[in-house]
Every structure is written in C-alpha cells, then in structure tokens.
Amino acid sequence: MSEYNVIKESKILVTGGAGFIGSNLCENLLQNGNQVVCFDNFSTGKRENINQFLKNSDFNLIEGDIRNLQDCQVAIHEVDIVLHQAALGSIPRSIEDPITTNEVNINGFLNMLIVSSDAGVKRFVYACSSSTYGDHPDLPKVENIIGRPLSPYAITKYANELYAKVFSEIRGLETIGLRYFNVFGPRQATDGAYAAAIPKFVKNLINHESPIIYGDGEQSRDFTYIENVIQMNNLAATTSNKKALNEIYNVAYGDSSTINELLSSLRDLLSNFDKKINEVVPDYQLARKGEVRHSLASIKKGETLLEYQPRFSLSQGLSKAIPWYWDYFANNK
C-alpha cells in the first residue's frame, strides 16, 4: 500500500517506457490497476525491461519514435495522462552528437506536446534534468534560479521547460516538469559508453576492474533512488492543487555525496558477496567537459505543493539496488 496518492484506473502513456525509469513507472502503474501504453523505439530502452509485462492485458507496447508525429498520434489514442520519459540522455553523448540529441529531446518533445494538447489529455508530466542548473554556483539548487547550461543536453532539457510553459499558457495543457537528480536503481543500463556512474561502478567492482573516476572524485551529486522518482510522478499526475500545476520541481533526496564516498559505499555493500572487491581501487582520469562540480537539490517546493516526502536515501536505495545488480550480473556472465 503506497503512502502517497497514486494514479489509479486510468490509461497512461509512458514514453520511453522500455527504459530504466520508464519501465519502473510501467510496473508501478500496472500494480495500481491502470492501463499502460509503452511507447519506445528501443534506441536506448531494452526489451528485457518490459518482457514481464507483455502478457498483461492492461499493457500495450507501441514501437515507434517520438520524432515521428504520426507515431505519437497513434500512441496518444484515448490516453488520460502522459508520463514523458523518452529522451536521449548523457552529457558526453550530446557533446559528441548534438544534432541527434536536439532532434529527440526538442523536436520529439514538441511532437508529444502537440498530440497531447490536441487529444485533450488531463495532464502531461515530463522528465527534466538537474543539468539545467548549469554553472550557477549556489547550493542547494532552487527551481527558479538557474545558470548557463554547460552542454547541448542541458540546453535541450531547458528548452523542454520553456515549451511546456508556453503550451500550458496558449493551449491550456496541464504540465508538470520533474528535474531528476542522478537517479539509480534496478534496470539502469550497465553497459555502453554512456552508462551512469552507479551501474558502471558496480559492474567494474564485480569484475574486479578499477572503476574510472573523472577528476579527483570530490565532485558531489544528489543520488536519487528510483522509488522517489516513482512517487513524484504519481504525485504530479494526481495533484488537485491548482497552484502546483504548470511548475517545475526537483526530484531528489535532498542530500549529496561525493563520488569517492559513493564508491566506498558500493565497495562495502558488494564485499558482502565477494571479499576481493574490497581490494579494487579506482582509476582517476581527467575531468570531463560539460559536467558541474557539485549538485544538491532543494526539495522544499515539492514538499510544499505536492506533499513530496522522499522515502529512500542513498544508503537505503543502494541497499535495495545492490542485490538486484548482483543477481543481474550473476545471470548475465
């Protein structure tokens, strides 16, 4: 039983539903008696993330691309609420290929706004990014104070916020944007050049390989367990507080840890499965371009307007996620 309001008895479109966050949302929505439409082109999403849902009569997979307006029109049919997670993530990838990042994250986002407003959906909840804060030095990060974006990815996610605001004003579409801070948990990508830090570190440690840390490791992040993200999507989709609509919210725990501290925690937890992991040391390399030094979220706005109360700290989230990762790697060697 959830301790917060959840979406029930609705038809929900989850774009990017085969991805890490999207598939976890699909699972939660199905558990709460909803009809779920998963819309994905599998460019970064994985079929293994949704295989368990395919036999569920309340789950419908539409394979398509948000860059294709016709695909979007098919996916939006009779939908009540949109949870828009589809995007091409990764700051390094956006630096290497800004054109594709722009096409997916801006053109695709605009397509979804158009079809959602045309179809009269009740609410459009979309994934933003903490990268929007850019070079603004203040901590914690407060929603209405941002700096200069430091990457093409950050620019695209800020453009999403601007587009959503305009559509709420000129078309009456109810929107809520959620700025995710370093989300982690089960089903997060563990391979490829753009895998997030936690699954990449875990894979390295299990294989007794030195995790690569870019910079001195003293950069900090507000690591956020997937269950907190699921909670916030549900709250954003169900709130009846008119003051909460057409706004942006940080989605985080509200605490930060350095990369060195993170690696130490991972090593301690994984050594319960394999003592040799304690002997693995990191490989420090040059810091990457486009990444902020420190990140810490203020969650006061979400607490006030959406009654957001994150239930999982970094340590609590890692305690739940590490057994999943261990089983995943044990079964995929």
Q: Supply the residues annotated as catalytic.
A: 153
Please give the backbone phi and psi of residue 302, each rounded to the nearest 5 degrees, phi first. Answer: -65, -40
With tokens 């453009």, the residue in question is 159
Q: Which of 221, 223, 118, 237 is nearest to 176 (CA)?
A: 237
Handedness of CA 241, 301, 22, 54 (dihedral sign): negative
- SS3 of 44-68: CCCHHHCHHHCCCCCEEEEECCCCC
Q: Which of 292, 288, 248, 296 is nearest to 150 (CA)?
A: 292
CA of 29: how far to CAs of 81, 214, 227, 252, in Å?
11, 37, 13, 21
Q: What is the C-alpha to C-alpha distance for residues 139 and 123, in angstroms, rounded to an integer?
A: 31
CA of 224: how far to CAs of 66, 184, 307, in Å?
27, 6, 17
Residues paired with residue 184 on neighbouring β-strands, in sequence order:
225
Report the C-alpha dihedral over residues 96, 111, 292, 321, rounded to 10 degrees: -100
H helix or E strand, kind and range, residue 176: strand 175-180
* Amino acid letter, residue 69: L
Please give the backbone phi and psi of residue 62, each rounded to the nearest 5 degrees, phi first. Answer: -115, 115
Handedness of CA 56, 59, 60, 64 (dihedral sign): negative
In sequence order, what DSSP letters do the residues of 296-326 get, joined into one string? -B--HHHHHHH-------HHHHHHHHHHHHH
With tokens 């860059």, the residue in question is 67
